[in-house]
């Protein structure tokens, strides 16, 4: 069931077209990530959903209630939407308990019980209820901000880059914790982020914006494996882009003859492989079908980066296990796993 429907939403600021005809549907109980480069319209879209801005054209419907029909909008406080921002925006003069309970009526009989339940839900110790925000770590502050937003029992949660100010390890833990809390509470969420890896791991659906337009939307796996164009491919992760000649479901390229995800197309095209699709091995015995010379090796722990030089081709950057890394200057055999993606073609 669809909870949120965004239809033909457009917004202009003077000469700048911030959003142009955006259509997105958000299923109930799902997590959607909106990604894109700076200036793509991510924040504008979030502000329109929250009610902080009015669209020039289009509609926003939440749970069968029209929140925006062109410039005519329902004010933010009547939308039933929770928001967690980058800095948490906690009230510094209030305790954790007072921050969480800010959205709960003071006269409510179960107020204290709900506050305790909410701090349990975001996996914080109840002993922290008497602390002030400055006595908490960044991750703890974000959990309190999430609890405060959940206290209002929102129909939809908006997450505006809530993990970007956290250290890398803490950011990953917080992302998992927030996803777990939202899933447990059954809250539909929209995450705006500039971190592609964060979007792919957090969301059930990813929407890519560019220059105010929706370029592509779908599951994280579908967008990563079958991006619509090269810009989307490189935005969502490392990509190996090669010119090729198509025919009979295969592509002839610098890596030899590679199977593709389209069967009907023929002629010149550009194909994409993800670095993890390439495997390296020492050449033993007869010559390999495809080989390259190791130009550089960058150790990165479990996953390392190997740069190869191909005869007559541009350097290739490949992700490799740290076990049995080739030596710089050696020649290795290259094997392609899976199929190459052809831009603009329907996957077979």
Residue 116 belongs to domain with CATH number: 3.40.50.300
Residue 70: Cβ within 10 Å count: 14
Q: Are residues 98 and 183 in the same domain?
A: yes
How many other CB atoms are found less than 10 A from the CB of residue 306? Answer: 22
pLDDT exceeds cutoff 60 at 39: yes
Q: What is the pTM of this model?
A: 0.86
What is the rounded CA–CA span in Å between residue 156 and residue 36? 21
The pLDDT value given to residue 286: 63
β 31-35/188-192 pair status: parallel
Distance set, CA 222 to CA 117, 337, 341 (Å) = 37, 17, 11
Confidence of residue 289 (pLDDT cuts 50, 70, 90): confident
pLDDT band at 88 (very low <50, low <70, confident <90, very high): low
pLDDT tier for residue 246 given thresholds of 50, 70 and 90? very high
pLDDT-based confidence at 226, cuts 50/70/90?
A: very high
**Average pLDDT of the chain?**
89
Give 178's pLDDT tier (boundaries 50, 70, 90): confident
Which domain range does residue 242 map to? 238-342
Tell me, yes or no, whether 226 and 259 share the same domain: no
238/216 Cα distance (integer angstroms): 18
Whether 171 and 195 share a structural domain: yes
Quick one: 167 and 198 in the same domain? yes
Q: What is the mean pLDDT of residues 317-339?
A: 88
Among 2-16, 103-117, 257-271, 322-336, the minimum mean pLDDT is found in 103-117
Tell me the C-alpha distance between 208 and 126, whole Å.
39
Sign of the C-alpha dihedral computed for residues 329, 334, 337 and 341 taken in this order: positive
pLDDT at 61 over 60: yes
Q: How confident is the model at residue 287 (pLDDT cuts 50, 70, 90)?
A: low
pLDDT band at 347 (very low <50, low <70, confident <90, very high): low
For range 92-96, the mean pLDDT: 92
Instruction: Clarify whether residues 258 and 319 are in a common domain.
Output: yes
User: Looking at residue 272, what is its pLDDT?
Assistant: 96
Asked if residue 327 has pLDDT above 70, the reply is yes
pLDDT score recorded for residue 195: 86
Using the predicted structure, report yes or no on whether residue 285 has a pLDDT greater than 80. Answer: no
Out of 232, 267, 295, pick the residue that ends a domain.
232
Tokens matching residue 142: 């974000």
Mean pLDDT in residue range 138-158? 88
Domain co-membership, 260 together with 203: no
């Amino acid at each position: 069931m669809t909870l949120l429907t965004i239809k033909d939403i457009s917004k202009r600021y003077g000469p700048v077209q911030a959003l142009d005809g955006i259509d997105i549907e958000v299923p109930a109980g799902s997590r959607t990530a909106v990604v894109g480069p700076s200036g793509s319209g991510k924040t504008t879209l979030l502000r329109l959903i929250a009610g902080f801005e009015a669209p020039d054209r289009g509609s926003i419907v939440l749970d069968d209630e029209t929140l925006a029909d062109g410039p005519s909008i329902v004010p933010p406080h009547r939308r039933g939407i929770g928001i967690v921002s980058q800095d948490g925006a906690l009230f510094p003069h209030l305790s954790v308990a007072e921050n969480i309970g800010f959205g709960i009526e003071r006269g409510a009989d179960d107020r204290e019980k709900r506050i305790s339940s909410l701090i349990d839900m975001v996996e914080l110790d109840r002993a922290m209820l008497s602390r002030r925000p400055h006595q908490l770590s960044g991750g703890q502050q974000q959990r309190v901000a999430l609890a405060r937003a959940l206290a209002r029992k929102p129909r939809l949660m908006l997450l505006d880059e809530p993990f970007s100010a956290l250290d890398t390890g803490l950011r990953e833990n917080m992302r998992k914790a927030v996803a777990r809390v939202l899933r447990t509470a059954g809250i539909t969420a929209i995450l705006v982020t500039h971190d592609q890896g964060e979007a792919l791991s957090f969301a059930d659906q990813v929407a890519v914006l560019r220059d105010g337009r929706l370029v592509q939307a779908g599951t994280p796996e579908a967008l990563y494996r079958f991006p619509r164009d090269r810009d989307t491919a490189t935005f969502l992760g490392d990509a190996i882009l090669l010119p090729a000649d198509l025919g009979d479901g295969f592509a002839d390229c610098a890596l030899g003859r590679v199977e593709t995800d389209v069967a009907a197309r023929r002629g010149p095209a550009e194909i994409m492989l993800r670095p993890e699709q390439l495997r390296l091995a020492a050449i033993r015995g007869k010559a390999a079908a495809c080989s390259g010379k190791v130009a550089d090796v960058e150790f990165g722990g479990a996953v390392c980066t190997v740069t190869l030089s191909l005869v007559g081709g541009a350097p290739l950057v490949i992700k490799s296990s740290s076990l049995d890394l080739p030596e710089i200057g050696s020649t290795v055999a290259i094997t392609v796993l899976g199929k190459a993606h052809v831009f603009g073609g329907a996957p077979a």
